[in-house]
Amino acid sequence: MKHSLKIGFSFGLTSGIITTLGLMVGLHSGTHSKLVVLGGILTIAIADAFSDALGIHITEESENIHNVKEIWESTVSTFFSKLVFALTFVIPVLLFELTTAIMVSVIWGLTILCILSFKMAKGKKGKTWIVVAEHLIIALVVITITHFVGDWIAKVCS
């Protein structure tokens, strides 16, 4: 895979997993509303995909080592990987009761993160389990914190 596409894909996929799961878990624990969680997913899929794509675009430009085509490849691949992956979390919310949908989404997201981390670590010929564990721990910290923030907001606002 071309470097510019790999940058966009890996960044968009990782961001799509962590931000969407964090948002879903926080909104679920704060509201227990399927409509709110679904609205949050759709909002973050669009707004954060554009935001992340612009962030990658500016980062790649600031390095002064990529040509215009490579910069736009990273930008577009970030946007579409973030958008498409974030939208996959809509499926469990539509198919299951909300608590089950959250659990299915967490399992789905962490599985994809493990696969991406494993492939990346294997390509670097490092200790794959360290890379996978590091990425999983970060994702679990985000999920845990957003759960408690959602609980706190529900308590403060009730």
Q: Give the number of other Cβ atoms within 10 Å of residue 65's Cβ.
A: 8
pLDDT for 44-62, tens place per residue? Answer: 999 999 999 999 999 999 9
Distance CA 24, CA 20 (A): 6
Task: Supply the pLDDT for residue 4.
Answer: 86
Whether 79 and 49 have beta carbons less than 8 Å apart is answered as: yes
pLDDT at 123 over 80: no
Our measurement of the distance from residue 131's CA atom to the centroid of its chain's CA atoms, rounded to an integer in Å, reads: 17
pLDDT for 80-121, tens place per residue? Answer: 999 999 999 999 999 999 999 999 999 999 999 999 999 888
- Angle between helical axes of 98-124 and 34-62 (0-180°, round to 10): 20
